[in-house]
Structure 1
Amino acid sequence: MNLLVIGTRGSPLALIQTQSIIDRLKQEYTDLEIKTKIIKTTGDQLCDYEHLEAIQQRGIFTKEIEKKLLEAEIDLAVHSLKDLPVEMPQGLEIAAIPPREDPRDCWVSLHYPHPDGLEPGAIVAVGSPRRANQLLRKRPDLRVVPIRGNVETRLKRLRENKEWMGTILAIAGIKRLGIDLSSFFCTPLGMDWMLAAPGQGALALETRQGDKRTKDLVQFLNDFPSACEVCAERSFLYELGGGCRAAVGAMAKVEGSKLVLYGIWWPEGSLRPKEGKVVGQIQEAKKLGQELAHLLKKL
């Protein structure tokens, strides 16, 4: 039976991302039957993510999907790579990384085009230690409050809360959802302001090890430069022992045959970050991530 069963979360963004993969597969294999299985994860069950301690767990948006993959209830899982823990479960592997969307974060505000124009004491709603720490590093005079939920929820809360002067979101999610931000200022943040989460903007197509059929089906979707960039970023995160909630930012860029990796890290309990960059051959992506982590640990 020429059937491929794909597992995904049921969020609007997850469904759009999965559909983009289905469309590419159907273009490539006109006789392939594809079914989608929506799987509710721990992260989805936490609703608006008020349970902050639970959010610290790794894999809250992926482990239930990976369980179905290991049990062969699905053949392929489509993940936002930044949600996928850097320690892969035994028996699973990333089979392909499609071309990456813009990995940067952007500043979103109803009133201010950039956070450097905020008044001292202005309140900014951010959803991760990585974003909060980097913002306060540039503007220690600002107040930061937590915000949870998907992109639409965060924008709704920003509209409703008149005390909040802005928030920071991933450009990739906004683009994929096709959200109209014409009533907002939406300004991409340069690396001097904000290094993204490792793997941000990339999708991961996960399969069972040894499932040659599925791996062969999705291989044409793999984008080598994107795969090298996220490999370096995830290697950097892994060596630092961090998860998706760690105060770690990373950005790798392919420049010809070279790979440049920038990283910033707040060790637990530290008020000051450690940061740096390394340059090497594109084929040495994993090694470069390790090298940068070891460099920052010595600072």
Structure 2
Amino acid sequence: MKPLVIGSRGSQLALIQAQLVIDNLKRKFPDLDIYTRVIKTAGDRFDTHPIGEIDQRGIFTKEIENKLLGGEIDLAIHSLKDLPVELHPELVIAAIPPREDPRDCWISLNHPHPSCLQPSAIVCTGSPRRANQLLRKRPDLRIVPIRGNVESRLKKLKENREWQGTVLALAGIKRMGLDLSSFLWTPLGDDWMLPAPGQGALALQTRIDDKYTQSLVKCLNDFPTACAVYAERAFLHELGGGCRTAVGAKAQPEGSRLILEGIWWPEEAIQPKEGKIVGEMQQAEQLGKKLADLLKKL
């Protein structure tokens, strides 16, 4: 078999995610030689800058996609929420494996839930989506920006005693097997925090004409996860969203149907628009577009 070269970011979480894919491929193809190439992205180089100050879409994916387009790697592994909704025309998502828990997680040294915070408490997050949803429930909170990987954010939270908590993706915490015994933490329900579209899912990306690599990874695709993610991404795309946009979405498969919830803050809006819609799983993208259209009319 022809060797497979995989491209990934170099963070601990990214490499763990790449290894999950490699392990699953090796179980299916034990004779397949797989090599990993670590690629530094703009988001990694400018990890102290607020995301809004980095004028580039795909800040965690563009350099990896360029290596894929140039033939230096055969397969790119992305956290799907980082992948722009408009893909390069020569690239395709060839598989989406089963999703990890998509919820966000509250983490604090002293407070078990953001509802327990004192007025004017400081919460650190660099995500407009997370900040807006926290402030919607607790408009008295003070939000300060934070960047960096999971480990560095937890380290900063421990070191800065003025910060009362932060919010991280539960999927990353689970995949890394992090010890949170020195923190108080709890997953946030949908009433507090809808996740980013695609959160908890991985995207396995290939060149559109690379049928060999596509044939290898198609066995890793999980149909219900893919449908849920495509509904969420279609919702985001229809709203013109990216990492600077306050958009949350969660699609839940139930039998042959999807239940899609979404929340969106139009630019400079104080109050969000939100809604829920149910439709057939086979019509996932149309479902996402329909919910976005409904919210636009509110």
Corresponding pairs, count: 298
Cα distance in 1 for partners of 2:31, 2:107 equals 43
Against the structure 1 CA distance between its residues 51 and 91, is the aligned structure 2 distance closer, same or farther, given a 3 Å change threshold? closer
Match of 1:225 in 2: 224
> Which letter does structure 2 place at the counterpart of 1:237?
L
Residue 12 (str. 1) matches residue 15 (str. 2): no
Following superposition, the deviation at residue 48 of structure 1 comes to 2.4
Following superposition, the deviation at residue 284 of structure 1 comes to 0.6
Q: Which digits, 9 at most, give the CA deviation of each residue in 1:116-145, with x for residues without a partner?
A: 111111111112000000000000011111
> Which letter does structure 1 place at the counterpart of 2:13?
L
> Which letter does structure 1 place at the counterpart of 2:11?
S
Against the structure 1 CA distance between its residues 51 and 114, is the aligned structure 2 distance closer, same or farther, given a 3 Å change threshold? closer
Cα distance in 1 for partners of 2:40, 2:117 equals 39
Cα distance in 2 for partners of 1:67, 1:90 equals 13
Following superposition, the deviation at residue 51 of structure 1 comes to 6.7
Q: Which runs of 5+ in 2 are unaligned?
A: none
Superposition TM-score, scaled by structure 1 size: 0.98
Residue 32 (str. 1) matches residue 36 (str. 2): no
> Which letter does structure 2 place at the counterpart of 1:48?
T
Cα distance in 2 for partners of 1:256, 1:87 equals 29
> Which letter does structure 2 place at the counterpart of 1:21?
V
Following superposition, the deviation at residue 90 of structure 1 comes to 1.3
Q: CA RMSD in A?
A: 1.0
Match of 1:94 in 2: 93
Match of 2:252 in 1: 253
Instruction: Assess if the C-alpha contact under 8 Å between 1:123 and 1:144 holds in 2.
Output: yes
Residue 284 (str. 1) matches residue 272 (str. 2): no
Residue 215 (str. 1) matches residue 214 (str. 2): yes
Q: Which runs of 5+ in 1 are unaligned?
A: none
Following superposition, the deviation at residue 57 of structure 1 comes to 2.4
Match of 1:176 in 2: 175
Match of 1:267 in 2: 266
Cα distance in 2 for partners of 1:149, 1:171 equals 16
Following superposition, the deviation at residue 168 of structure 1 comes to 0.5
Match of 2:163 in 1: 164
Cα distance in 2 for partners of 1:3, 1:51 equals 36
Instruction: Assess if the C-alpha contact under 8 Å between 1:49 and 1:149 holds in 2.
Output: no
Following superposition, the deviation at residue 246 of structure 1 comes to 1.0
SS state of the match for residue 210, structure 1? coil
Cα distance in 1 for partners of 2:121, 2:288 equals 36
Q: Which digits, 9 at most, give the CA deviation of each residue in 1:44-76, with x for residues without a partner?
A: 11132357410x521011111111111111110
Cα distance in 1 for partners of 2:62, 2:255 equals 36
Residue 148 (str. 1) matches residue 147 (str. 2): yes
> Which letter does structure 2 place at the counterpart of 1:70?
L
Following superposition, the deviation at residue 244 of structure 1 comes to 2.1
Cα distance in 1 for partners of 2:16, 2:269 equals 38
Identity score, percent: 69
